[in-house]
């Protein structure tokens, strides 16, 4: 309890420092630079304050609920700030991912604790997990800020190609992470024995690279949710003039579903080949390290779970803009 109070006090101090630094940075930027690097878009004081305040509130809530460790909360502050500042749709996607993936991680923990050797109560995310899940989306959001500015544009490759490409890239990275989380956290407890994606042979639940119908459906619906969140952000924040000349924005929801499914499949393929899975003979749990007393199931010890998440999110972010373009956006 004492350690928890200390970490909460530390996070509060850092959050206050973050707010103060953020506001002073905004003032200094306007005094020295007089605007952002994008030609036409400047960041309003309300947008900057909202991005700062919302990030602090959400991260503090997540830390209090033990969905984020202290290190994870500190990095999540920067991730949330960058995404909210760039486009409100990015923020809605991030919120949808954070809340639903946290719920999915905590679902049926009693079963997961018997399957996974590295199981953690509450699924608390540290800085490395935040980096691997949100790193690609944050990088693309920063590129959006530098190239487009703080601008809530609809997806319209015909009139705003670069903004649409970067926007779909951000959504792809988040949809991948959410789809994979839903697939692994829900598919593990709802499905029977999965099949290895490379050989289609039955493997124990919790095996890296194992897929099931329930898991694949979960990944698709997890991606659909991210697509819906992006669409809501466009509907609420984009101007009526931009929306009227843009393609039908409901297609974003379907593209998000494809992103969730694609990300889950990529994650499974990497997990089955480049990530080790074995079964501990004594405990019966699935482990990711080859050692005495462990029977190999699949994969090699090249990547760990964090690396697989990062690579799959990068690949999905690079591929989803093309899918969105093919869907008529």
Say how far apart CA 173 and CA 163 lie, in whole Å.
Answer: 16
Say how far apart CA 261 and CA 222 lie, in whole Å.
Answer: 8
DSSP 162-174: HHHHHHHHHHHHH
Say how far apart CA 278 and CA 133 lie, in whole Å.
Answer: 25
- How much is the pLDDT for 254? 95
Q: State whether residue 119 is helix, strand or coil.
A: coil
- How much is the pLDDT for 29? 54
- How much is the pLDDT for 42? 64
With CA atoms as reference, report the closest residue to 49 among 79, 32, 27.
Answer: 27
**Residue 312 CB neighbour total at 10 angstroms:** 27
Across the chain, the runs of DSSP E, i.e. the strands, are 195-196, 210-211, 277-280, 286-287, 294-298
Residues, the chain = 329
Give me the residues paired with residue 202 across strands.
195
- How much is the pLDDT for 280? 82
**Is there a contact between 159 and 245 (Cβ–Cβ < 8 Å)?**
yes
- How much is the pLDDT for 321? 95
Sign of the torsion formed by the C-alpha atoms of 139, 141, 145 and 146: positive
Say how far apart CA 116 and CA 85 lie, in whole Å.
Answer: 38
pTM of the shown model = 0.85
Tens digit of pLDDT at every position of the chain (329 positions): 555 556 555 555 565 566 556 555 654 555 455 544 454 456 777 788 888 888 888 888 887 877 788 888 888 888 988 898 889 999 999 999 988 888 887 776 656 555 555 555 556 788 888 888 888 899 899 889 888 888 889 999 999 999 999 999 999 999 999 998 888 888 777 767 888 898 888 888 878 888 888 889 999 999 999 999 999 999 998 888 889 898 999 999 999 999 999 999 999 999 889 888 888 888 878 788 788 888 888 878 888 888 889 899 999 999 999 999 999 88
- How much is the pLDDT for 110? 58
């Amino acid at each position: 309890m004492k350690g928890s109070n200390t970490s909460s006090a530390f996070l509060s101090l850092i959050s206050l420092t973050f707010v103060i630094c953020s506001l002073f940075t905004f003032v200094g930027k306007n005094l020295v630079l007089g605007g952002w690097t994008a030609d036409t878009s400047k960041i309003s004081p309300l947008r900057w304050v909202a991005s700062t305040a919302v990030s602090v509130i959400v991260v503090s809530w997540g830390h209090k609920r033990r969905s984020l460790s202290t290190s994870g909360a500190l990095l999540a502050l920067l991730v949330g700030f960058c995404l909210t500042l760039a486009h409100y749709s990015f923020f809605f996607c991030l919120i949808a991912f954070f809340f639903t993936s946290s719920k999915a991680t905590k679902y049926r923990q009693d079963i997961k604790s018997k399957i996974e050797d590295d199981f953690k109560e509450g699924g608390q995310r540290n800085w490395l997990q935040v980096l691997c899940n949100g790193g690609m989306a944050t990088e693309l959001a920063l590129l959006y800020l530098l190239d487009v500015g703080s601008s809530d544009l609809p997806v319209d490759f015909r009139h705003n190609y670069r903004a649409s490409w970067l926007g779909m890239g951000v959504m792809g990275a988040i949809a991948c992470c959410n789809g994979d989380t839903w697939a692994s956290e829900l598919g593990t407890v709802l499905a029977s024995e999965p099949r290895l994606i490379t050989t289609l042979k039955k493997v124990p639940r919790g095996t890296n690279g194992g897929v099931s119908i329930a898991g694949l459906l979960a990944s698709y619906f997890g991606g659909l949710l991210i697509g819906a969140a992006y669409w809501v952000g466009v509907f609420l924040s984009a101007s009526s003039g931009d929306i009227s000349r843009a393609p039908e924005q409901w297609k974003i929801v379907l593209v998000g579903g494809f992103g969730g499914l694609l990300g889950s499949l990529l994650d499974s393929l990497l997990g089955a080949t480049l990530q080790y899975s074995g079964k501990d003979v004594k405990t019966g749990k699935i482990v990711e390290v080859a050692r005495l007393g462990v029977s190999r199931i699949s994969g090699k010890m090249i990547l760990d779970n964090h690396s697989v998440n990062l690579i799959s999110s990068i690949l999905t972010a690079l591929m989803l803009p093309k899918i969105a373009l093919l869907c008529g956006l």
